[in-house]
Amino acid sequence: MNKFTGKVWVLGDDIDTDIIIPTDYLALPTIEDMKQYGFSPLRPELASRIQEGDIIVAGKNFGCGSSREQAPEIIKALKVACVIAKSYARIFFRNSINNGLLLIENDQIQDVVKEGDMLTVQMGEYLQLGDRTFPIASLPDNLMDIINAGGLVKAMQRRNGIETED
Amino acid sequence: MGSTLIEKIVARNIGADQVKPGQIVTVNVDRVMIHDIFIPFVADKFEEMGFTSLWDPDKVVLIYDHLIPTSAVEDVRHFKIGDAFAEKYGLKNVHRSDGICHQLMTEAGYAKPGNIVFGTDSHTTTYGCVGCFSSGIGYTEMASILGTGQLWIRVPETIKVVVNGTLPDNVTAKDVILRLIGDLRSDGATYKVLELSGSAVDAMSVASRMTISNMAIEAGAKACLFRPDEKTCEYSRVNMEDVDWLYPDEDADYCRVMEYRAEDLVPVLACPSQVDNIKPVTEVEGTELDQVFIGSCTNGRLEDLAVAAGILKGHTTACKLIVTPASRKIYMEAIKAGYMETLAKAGAIITQPGCGLCCGRAGGILTDGEKVLATNNRNFLGRMGTSKVGIYLGSPATAATSAITGKITVPKGIQGN
From CA B31, how far away is CA B57, in angstroms rounded?
10
Q: Residues B178-207: pLDDT tens digits?
A: 999 999 999 999 999 999 999 999 999 999
pLDDT of residue B414: 65
Q: Closest by alpha carbon to B374, among B356, B398, B351?
A: B398
- Closest residue to B136, CB basis, from A16, A60, A91: A91
Half-sphere exposure of B285 (CA within 13 A, CB side): 11
Q: Residues B14-24: pLDDT tens digits?
A: 999 999 998 88
Q: Closest by alpha carbon to B81, among B121, B47, B56, B123?
A: B47
Q: Which residue range forms the structural domain that includes residue A31?
A: 3-136
Q: Is the pLDDT of residue B25 over 70?
A: yes
Amino acid at B316: T
From CA A124, how far away is CA B4, in angstroms rounded?
34
For chain B, the first-to-last Cα distance in angstroms comes to 38
Q: Residues B201-214: pLDDT tens digits?
A: 999 999 999 999 99
With 0-12 CB in 10 A as exposed, 13-18 as middle and 19+ as buried, what is B349? middle
- Closest residue to A27, CB basis, from B75, B119, B190: B75
pLDDT of residue A35: 96
Mutate to test the interface with A, among B6, B380, B381, B384 (most CBs of A within 10 A): B380
Interface contact A94, partner B, CB < 8 A: yes
Distance of CA A146 to the CA centre of its chain: 16
- Closest residue to A90, CB basis, from B38, B220, B383: B220
Find out if CATH 3.40.50.2300 is the number for domain B268-405.
no
Residue of chain A with shortest Cα separation from B76? A27
Task: Give the right CATH number for B5-262 from 3.40.190.10, 3.60.40.10, 3.30.499.10, 3.40.50.300.
Answer: 3.30.499.10
Instruction: Give yes or no for a contact between B138 and A73, defined as CB atoms under 8 angstroms apart.
Output: no
Q: Which residues contact A87 (CB under 8 A, 6 or more apart)?
A: A60, A61, A62, A105, A107, B187, B190
Q: Would you say the CATH fold of B268-405 matches that of B5-262?
A: yes
With 0-12 CB in 10 A as exposed, 13-18 as middle and 19+ as buried, what is B270? buried
Q: Closest by alpha carbon to B193, among B220, B218, B222?
A: B222
Phi first, then psi: give them for residue B26, nearest 5 degrees: -105, 120
CATH number at residue A96: 3.20.19.10
- Closest residue to A24, CB basis, from B120, B138, B361: B361
Mutate to test the interface with B, among A11, A21, A146, A156 (most CBs of B within 10 A): A156
Q: Is the pLDDT of residue B415 over 60?
A: no
The 10 Å Cβ neighbour count of residue B238 is 18
C-alpha distance from B367 to closest chain A C-alpha (Å): 13
Q: Which residues contact A43 (CB under 8 A, 6 or more apart)?
A: none
pLDDT of residue B417: 39
Q: Residues A79-108: pLDDT tens digits?
A: 999 999 999 999 999 999 898 888 999 999
Pairing of strands A132-135, A126-129: antiparallel
From CA B297, how far away is CA B125, in angstroms rounded?
11
Chain A residues whose beta carbon lies within 8 Å of the beta carbon of residue B143: 153, 156
Structural domain count of chain A: 1
Chain A residues whose beta carbon lies within 8 Å of the beta carbon of residue B147: 156, 160
Chain B residues whose beta carbon lies within 8 Å of the beta carbon of residue A152: 140-141, 144
Q: Closest by alpha carbon to B75, among B64, B63, B87, B86?
A: B64
Partner B, chain A 105-134, Cβ-Cβ below 8 Å: none
Residue A147 lies in a domain: no
Please state the pTM of the whole predicted model. Answer: 0.92
Q: What is the mean pLDDT of chain B?
A: 96
pLDDT of residue A95: 93
Report the pLDDT averaged over residues B223-245: 98
Q: Is the pLDDT of residue B416 over 60?
A: no
Instruction: Give yes or no for a contact between B160 and B201, defined as CB atoms under 8 angstroms apart.
Output: no
With 0-12 CB in 10 A as exposed, 13-18 as middle and 19+ as buried, what is A80? buried
Q: Which of A117-121, A144-148, B288-292 has the lowest mean pLDDT?
A: A144-148
Query: Residue B267: in which H helix or E strand, if any?
Result: none
pLDDT of residue B362: 87
Q: Which residues contact A152 (CB under 8 A, 6 or more apart)?
A: A97, A98, A99, A146, B140, B141, B144
From residue B60, alpha-carbon distances to B34, B55, B149, B218, B307 in Å are 8, 9, 10, 26, 34
Q: Residues B72-111: pLDDT tens digits?
A: 999 999 999 999 999 999 999 999 999 999 999 999 999 9
Q: Is the pLDDT of residue B227 over 90?
A: yes
Q: Is the pLDDT of residue A166 over 70?
A: no
Q: What percent of chain B has pLDDT over 70?
A: 99
Instruction: Give yes or no for a contact between B57 and B88, defined as CB atoms under 8 angstroms apart.
Output: no
Pairing of strands B371-374, B291-295: parallel
Report the pLDDT averaged over residues B252-262: 98
pLDDT of residue B14: 97
Question: Residue B135's beta-bridge partner residues?
Answer: B118
Question: Residue B151's beta-bridge partner residues?
Answer: B27
Residue of chain B with shortest Cα separation from A153? B49
Phi first, then psi: give them for residue B340, nearest 5 degrees: -65, -40
From CA B54, how far away is CA B144, in angstroms rounded?
10
Mark yes or no for CB contact B187/A60 under 8 Å.
Answer: yes
Q: Is the pLDDT of residue A145 over 90?
A: no
Q: Residues B274-319: pLDDT tens digits?
A: 999 999 999 999 999 999 999 999 999 999 999 999 999 999 999 9
Instruction: Give yes or no for a contact between B242 and B330, defined as CB atoms under 8 angstroms apart.
Output: no
In three-state secondary structure terms, B402 is: helix
Chain A residues whose beta carbon lies within 8 Å of the beta carbon of residue B390: none
pLDDT band for A143, please (50, 70, 90 cuts): confident
Interface contact A24, partner B, CB < 8 A: yes
Domain boundaries, chain B: 5-262, 268-405
Residue of chain A with shortest Cα separation from B45? A153
Q: What is the mean pLDDT of chain A?
A: 92
Instruction: Give yes or no for a contact between B154 and B10, defined as CB atoms under 8 angstroms apart.
Output: no
Instruction: Give yes or no for a contact between A58 and B100, defined as CB atoms under 8 angstroms apart.
Output: no
Alpha carbon dihedral B232, B236, B238, B244, in 10-degree steps, equals -40
Q: What percent of chain B has pLDDT over 90?
A: 95
Q: What percent of chain A has pLDDT over 90?
A: 76
